Amino acid sequence: MNPVMAESPAWVRVALIPFLQLVLALAISSLVVLIIGEDPIHAFQVMIRGATNTDFGGISNTLYYATNFIFTGLAVAVAFHAGLFNIGGEGQVYVAGLAVALLCLALDSTLNAWFMAPLIIIGTALFGAIWGAVPGYLQARRGSHIVVTTIMFNYIAMAFMSYMLVEYISKLGGNSTDSRYWNAEAVIPKMHEISSSFPYSLLNPTILLALGVSAAVWVLIWRTRLGFAIRTVGSNPEAAKYAGIDAGRIIIITMAISGALAGMMAVNEVYAAQSRLILNFPNGAGFMGIAVALMGRNHPVGIVFAALLFGAMNQGGTELQFEIPSISPQVVLVIQALVVFFTGALDQLLRGPIENWFQRRAIARSQQAAAQG
């Protein structure tokens, strides 16, 4: 007996449930805000206004943060389709930052932005790909678990970057934690520099690259033969073998693609927005990609929306700290963590019961229809 399982409607799965998860997270966050003696309604108003206002660059900065999260979210999602949990986004971004620094320090006085930008994109993708492919190789050919190796590679990347930055790249030749600014001629302008109708913010055209890459990932996963192979390996390795797909090769390729996607975050952050290499520049965005991919259900469209949400929380949280000083950055972090917790880690808490309810209702209706018909 193979019972036909009715699925709950798509809008429930991709819209209603994430929304309710968010509401639940904010409800518990309200308690946190209440405990420290502030008005939660006011706090959320500040957050939302901070993230969405058009006068002071709120929405622009939300989009700028979202750009980072799109790249790291896609990186986690692509690996996930092959059944791999790439926790190494952070390290892959770090190493890609090095690519930006090397290219800019060497060439920013000779090349203008038109030549520099493509080089930077290729460089970040390449460095990220290499940093992703090595754990992929170790998994595929040596059986070292990808979760363990990618975590270790994060530490290697961080330590290596600190060393490189402080010893060779920093402007003062030691003790400084950032590089010199890149030559403005070699850097793509920010939105407010392109058009005065944009308020001052770090938002730059890299967001268009992020959206283009999202579309490309969709094509890769659902329209290419490589994507077919990736999904087969991720869903049923035995079937992949039966179909003549070399799972090891697919794992290495997937991790390279995943690393390249994460690496491209450095285009936004190191090349365009900050225009210099800063220690700890990924600032957890690589890890945040896991939550973004979870909430976006590993689909590029979902990831873009999830990235917007997390971008908004980053920006709104920053505003909150300014407006209500008693709400410290740590409290903002707690609020963000609660959202990650309810949308990611506790996904099934709401999803299970709600999907069951819709399923039962659909069944009851079909029975009613059958009885009447």
Tell me the closest approach of the beta carbon of residue 21 to other proteins, in angstroms.
Answer: 23
DSSP class per residue in 211-261: HHHHHHHHHHHHHSHHHHHHHHHHH-HHHHHHTT--HHHHHHHHHHHHHHH
The amino acid occupying position 44 is F
> Which sign does the torsion angle of CA 315, 319, 320, 325 carry?
positive
The answer to whether residues 247 and 237 touch, using CB atoms and an 8 Å cutoff, is yes
Tell me the closest approach of the beta carbon of residue 254 to other proteins, in angstroms.
Answer: 16
Residue among 235 and 280 whose Cβ is closer to other proteins = 235
243 near other proteins (CB under 8 A): yes
Tell me the closest approach of the beta carbon of residue 77 to other proteins, in angstroms.
Answer: 16
| Alpha carbons 258 and 286: distance in angstroms, whole number | 11
351 near other proteins (CB under 8 A): no
Virtual CA dihedral for 257, 67, 47, 318, nearest 10 degrees? Answer: 90
Virtual CA dihedral for 192, 196, 199, 205, nearest 10 degrees? Answer: -30
Tell me the closest approach of the beta carbon of residue 241 to other proteins, in angstroms.
Answer: 5
Count of residues that interact with other proteins, criterion CB under 8 A: 29
Tell me the closest approach of the beta carbon of residue 237 to other proteins, in angstroms.
Answer: 10
**Using the rule CB under 8 A, which residue among 197, 238, 330, 372 binds other proteins?**
238
Site string for other proteins, 202-221 (x = CB under 8 A): -----------------x--
Residue among 233 and 308 whose Cβ is closer to other proteins = 233
| Alpha carbons 103 and 345: distance in angstroms, whole number | 39
| Alpha carbons 335 and 339: distance in angstroms, whole number | 7
For helices 58-81 and 247-263, the axis angle rounded to 10 degrees is 170
244 near other proteins (CB under 8 A): yes
229 near other proteins (CB under 8 A): yes
4 near other proteins (CB under 8 A): yes
Tell me the closest approach of the beta carbon of residue 214 to other proteins, in angstroms.
Answer: 17
For binding to other proteins (CB under 8 A), which residues are involved?
1-6, 219, 223-225, 228-229, 231-232, 235-236, 238-239, 241-246, 359, 363, 366-367, 370
